[in-house]
Structure 1
Amino acid sequence: MKKFALSIIALFLVLTGCQSQKSTEKEKSSPSTEMVWSKDQSAAENTKHRVYYEIFVRAFADSNGDGIGDLNGVTKQLDYLKELGVGGIWLMPINPSPSYHGYDVTDYMNVNKDYGTLEDMKNLVSEAHKRDIKVVMDLVMNHTSKEHPWFQKALIGDPKYRDYYVWSDETTNTNAVGDWNQKIWHGTSDQKYEAIFWDGMPDLNYKNPAVMTEMKNAGQFWLSDIGIDGFRLDAAKYLISSHQSATNHEDNAKLWSEFKQATQQAKPDSILIGEIWDSASIVGKYLTALDSGFDFDLSTKILSSVKGENDAGIASSLERTRGYFQTVSPTYMDSIFITNHDMNRVMSELNGDVNHAKMAASLLLTLPGNPFLYYGEEIGLEGKKPDEHIREPMIWTPSEEDAIHSKWVNHLYSKNRDEVAVSVQENEKDSLLNHYKTMIAVRNSHPTLMDGEIKASAIRTKGLVSFERVKDDSRLLVLHNVSKDKLTITLPEDMKDVYFSSESYVKKGKELTLSPYSTIIFEAK
């Protein structure tokens, strides 16, 4: 597979008919297929800025016919991901675990037997790297499974492992509840253990340095021995909970700094991405230690904008938040997404509206940060809570019997397989899948879209989301008509060339009319 073939095919650069200010009127009936491309235009190569793809291995692709997705199944689909334009994958937990989801780990240096072996993981990483795809995996450091040997030894009184966990004493309010009013102290004896998420996930005691040593060893193993490129850090703000310390966020940041030193020793260019589901002021406390945090506020604004067909304040909010984060860490990277494995799927949130789904993708893929796609988002998989049904199997072909399909849980959603399947959408020009391919290719083609900053635009009208992307001397004006109506605006004098347009438009002098549900990007003079 040629390295940039798919990106070149997918990229629509609109230049013809948009450069002449003398033209009285010019209408484009469809995006131009004229290519103005050179390898120098690929911003994705040799950069930390890239599009990531979140994979629940159990649900993604089955390689051995047992009905469970596995690591070899992911390896077999790397070409699909490369053609999509993905530059990195995030694997949800792959460690041994008694639960289907894997967030309660029983061995930090091994692979869940349902998914394969350590050799399978090494092969996946090797094959991904051949395609310039980085591999990030979940590392669940806040808690273990209650079936982990450490906890089992703690329960029978082993003093070493007893001190690996958090236990109540006479001063503890064991009736205290967590952030969502959940019970957090568990057990039947006088001394109870802390488990923020549920009793099957006892919290580790990071006031004991031996626990961090265990995690450093695990992190270095995956980076050095297996060759992965970084970690998505689950529940990053809970290592030391608010029940243990009034300065828990600051305490956690110090712990993450210590962990980062160890990972940098193992692999200097590795990355740490924190799940810190909180306000920007709290997220900022962690950016002295972590390379990035997921932007949950932006997720809400993207969905609100496309649902309401009007700007929910995306650019102004991002400009303000990014400005603050950069005062904390100049090298900070945003990790942006629409929904993930803990949220109702995009297409269900949008009630099956493909136009809204396309606009959500267009917004995500033109904003600053590293976009994360949740597997199946690009084909419009649906799903609502409970969690099992936002993690339903990927649909590759119309036939459910094809061996590639995971059958770990039955589909309650996306039963229209003959419309949703990858093999079907690949052959439909206007499919959601091909829209994702196009928008990723556009992003990957321009350094300013990949890692430029954002500035709010003065162009405002109902139904329009507008902003500028800036990097060095480059400026792009990005206009999204997220509404069902045509919109007419007046362009700034310094916008000369159309870099990309997803749909037809009419330009008369500086007056521009955008089609419904469309995106157009201008380059400044």
Structure 2
Amino acid sequence: MPSLRSSCLLLPLFTLTSCVTGPATPVDGSPTPRVELAAPTANLWYQHAVFYEVFVRSFQDSNGDGKGDLAGLISRLDYLNDGDPNTTSDLGVDALWLMPVFDSPSYHGYDTTNYERIEPDYGTNADFERLCAEAHRRGMRVIVDLVINHTSSQHPWFQESAASPESAKRDWYVWSPVDPGWRQPWDLFSQGATWHPLNGAYYYGVFWGGMPDLNLRTPAVREEVKRLASFWLDKGVDGFRLDAVRYLIETSGGLTGQADTAETHAFWKEFAAHVRSVKPDAALVGEAWTNTPLIAPYYGSTAQVPQGDELPLNFNFPLAEEIIKAARLGNGNGLALKLSEMRSRYPVGVADAPFLTNHDHVRVATQLDGKPGALVTAASLVLTLPGSPFLYYGEEVGLLNGTTQNDEAKRTPMPWDGSTGGGFTSGTPWFAFAPGHENTHVAAQMTAPGSLLSRYRDLIRARHASPALERGGLTLLTSTQSRTSTLAFLRTLEGERVLVVHNLGDSAENAGPFELEGDLAEPLFVDSSVRAPERDGGTWRITLPARTTGIWRLR
């Protein structure tokens, strides 16, 4: 990589206005430039909100059947955000992402049978509208999973399509008279079949036969998908998390013909334009589970739409891996390099969507072996980087994976207290609690100042207290050229500058010297064992004990 003295390292969320080549010096002695950043090119709520992912089935049961439901979720909204900025007992999140809540034959809901009806296990459409109203009353937005790559094979559309080659909905799905032999496009060695026999023909389903792919080349299908988006936006939804965005329209077999096609990108532009026409500030969050160069194009063009004319938020899977690696190994070099790659790949003016894990990952607490210090580090990183952080329910208390190897083990019931039903249900839970739930639960951490839950709450409040920390740019002060146990950066917005320093390691570290203009006006978040930075002229040094963080506003 070129010397940092001659290149500006910044996140692409904001526009570069000047690059001053010094003199800030990171811990390894290599020079690093200061970067002045302008305001974001678009200031939409979802570009800096803290999101909280909820699996409704596992969050709170209201009727004793062992399954979480919308009424139960409503009863727990005050835990997430009580709507009162003067209280400190709530988590303080800004938005909810609900995993699929539409009618489905499966526990997970990613195979829909009716896009206009709430899953009966969860309640009714009226319950959903009440949830949106109650969330909005507390200042929270609600986005829902909209799965349009495929439906359930039990969906009436597919049943009609499969009935006859002459069916009016035959072209709503992708059919072939022979098996083209395409394999799943995850990698070069995939052996999973994607064409499935039925009634003398073959239909395409990239994930499995129970989820046939919709044919989004068909104009009637595209119009129906847009109508469904309008249907839920009109009922109070504030946007959509979009599943499997890479796989909508295939042109041929293989890695390039079944994923990331030009036709897929064109559809997302069309869909996003429709959503903006109905609700201009609606959030669209894409799941493109791949590398940085392939994620970046899903933002689309920023020429006419500053946030991107395809999907204005995209989950940053590679960054999540680097955050967890930094927390596990105590080395921030890979994370610094990833930020540099994002700068070179992402369009200027777009917002990131960082996270640790979601419902498809082994939980972060299990990946980090339940080590308190590593969990503290992971939380501190994801909540101080730019963009819109997404938290997965239970991460804030250190919830582990379940004991089985299936996906249900990543989606176990939320432990609210140490009782038999965990405060989740008065009946038998639909799936067993994760190990250690008797001690790892919300009640045990609610009033404990040093708990992981209290750290999440305090960091979210620090974000909300600082425009620069919440929606500002980033200037990396840590070198990308060697191993580093500290990660330091400036977050800036207009006249506010915030210095963030993390010690990722298991021993005390000296961060600096940093040559930064100004004084430290106030601490926004400082671990109790962190001493105030020491200044010698214009040079700052900071000593941080193991696994600690300091955040200061500069005057």
TM-score, normalised by the number of residues in structure 2: 0.81
The number of residues matched between the two structures is: 476
**Corresponding residue for residue 320 of structure 2:** 299
SS in 2 for 1:159: coil
Residue of 513, 519, 523 corresponding to 1:496: 519
Q: 1:273 to 1:237 in 2, by over 3 A?
A: same
**Corresponding residue for residue 3 of structure 1:** none
Q: What do the CA deviations read for 1:280-318 (whole angstroms, capped 9, x no partner)?
A: 222222212111110001100001001101114323422
**Corresponding residue for residue 5 of structure 1:** none
Which range moved further: 209-218 or 489-498?
489-498
Q: 1:136 to 1:195 in 2, by over 3 A?
A: same
Matched ranges for 1:282-321 at <5 A: 282-288=294-300, 289-321=310-342
Residue of 350, 356, 381 corresponding to 1:338: 356
Percent of matched pairs sharing the same residue: 38
Contact 1:304/1:312 (CA < 8 Å) preserved in 2? Answer: no
1:176 to partner: Cα distance: 3.3
**Corresponding residue for residue 150 of structure 2:** 143
Residue of 280, 285, 295 corresponding to 1:273: 285
Q: Matched residues in 2 for 1:110 and 1:408: separation?
A: 24
SS in 1 for 2:228: helix
Contact 2:332/2:487 (CA < 8 Å) preserved in 1? Answer: yes
**Corresponding residue for residue 20 of structure 2:** none
Contact 2:408/2:431 (CA < 8 Å) preserved in 1? Answer: no
Q: Matched residues in 2 for 1:427 and 1:440: separation?
A: 17
Residue of 214, 218, 223 corresponding to 1:204: 214
1:212 to partner: Cα distance: 0.8
**Corresponding residue for residue 392 of structure 2:** 374
Contact 1:58/1:408 (CA < 8 Å) preserved in 2? Answer: no
Q: Matched residues in 2 for 1:67 and 1:161: separation?
A: 38
Contact 2:132/2:142 (CA < 8 Å) preserved in 1? Answer: yes
SS in 2 for 1:282: helix
**Corresponding residue for residue 161 of structure 2:** 154
Unaligned runs of 5+ in 2: 1-42, 82-89, 301-309
1:402 to partner: Cα distance: 5.9
**Corresponding residue for residue 236 of structure 2:** 227
**Corresponding residue for residue 58 of structure 2:** 59
Contact 1:315/1:467 (CA < 8 Å) preserved in 2? Answer: no
More helix by share: 1
Q: Matched residues in 2 for 1:297 and 1:175: separation?
A: 27
Q: What do the CA deviations read for 1:142-170 (whole angstroms, capped 9, x no partner)?
A: 00000000111112115221110011245
Q: 1:115 to 1:47 in 2, by over 3 A?
A: closer
**Corresponding residue for residue 110 of structure 1:** 117
1:57 to partner: Cα distance: 0.3
Q: 1:322 to 1:422 in 2, by over 3 A?
A: same
Contact 1:91/1:137 (CA < 8 Å) preserved in 2? Answer: yes
Residue of 429, 435, 439 corresponding to 2:455: 435
SS in 2 for 1:505: coil
1:399 to partner: Cα distance: 0.6
**Corresponding residue for residue 398 of structure 1:** 418
**Corresponding residue for residue 7 of structure 2:** none
**Corresponding residue for residue 272 of structure 2:** 260
Unaligned runs of 5+ in 1: 1-43
Contact 1:393/1:407 (CA < 8 Å) preserved in 2? Answer: no
AA aligned to 1:524 is L
Q: What do the CA deviations read for 1:398-437 (whole angstroms, capped 9, x no partner)?
A: 11236643854433623342x2111111022211111111
**Corresponding residue for residue 307 of structure 2:** none
1:333 to partner: Cα distance: 1.9
Q: Matched residues in 1 for 2:46 and 2:146: separation?
A: 23
Q: Matched residues in 1 for 2:47 and 2:327: separation?
A: 29
AA aligned to 2:207 is F
1:487 aligns with 2:509: yes
1:183 to partner: Cα distance: 1.5
Q: Matched residues in 2 for 1:97 and 1:269: separation?
A: 29
Residue of 410, 415, 424 corresponding to 2:431: 410
Q: 1:430 to 1:149 in 2, by over 3 A?
A: same
Which range moved further: 44-53 or 91-100?
44-53
AA aligned to 2:321 is T
Which range moved further: 421-430 or 369-378?
421-430
AA aligned to 1:73 is G
Residue of 371, 395, 399 corresponding to 1:353: 371
**Corresponding residue for residue 24 of structure 1:** none
1:501 to partner: Cα distance: 0.9
AA aligned to 2:436 is K
Which range moved further: 158-167 or 122-131?
158-167
TM-score, normalised by the number of residues in structure 1: 0.86
AA aligned to 2:281 is D
Q: 1:387 to 1:47 in 2, by over 3 A?
A: closer
Q: 1:97 to 1:47 in 2, by over 3 A?
A: closer
**Corresponding residue for residue 465 of structure 1:** 487
1:163 aligns with 2:163: no
Q: What do the CA deviations read for 1:320-343 (whole angstroms, capped 9, x no partner)?
A: 41453224xx3x221110000000
1:441 to partner: Cα distance: 0.9
1:468 to partner: Cα distance: 2.0
Which range moved further: 510-519 or 470-479?
470-479
1:110 to partner: Cα distance: 0.9
SS in 1 for 2:419: coil
**Corresponding residue for residue 49 of structure 2:** 50
Could you list the structure 1 runs, at least 4 aligned residues long, displaced by more than 6 angstroms after superposition: 44-47
**Corresponding residue for residue 551 of structure 2:** 521
Q: 1:469 to 1:320 in 2, by over 3 A?
A: farther
AA aligned to 1:505 is V
1:73 to partner: Cα distance: 1.0
AA aligned to 1:311 is G
1:442 to partner: Cα distance: 0.9
Q: Matched residues in 2 for 1:315 and 1:490: separation?
A: 16
Q: Matched residues in 2 for 1:484 and 1:259: separation?
A: 47
**Corresponding residue for residue 92 of structure 2:** 85
Residue of 249, 260, 266 corresponding to 1:240: 249
Q: 1:233 to 1:347 in 2, by over 3 A?
A: same
1:191 to partner: Cα distance: 2.1
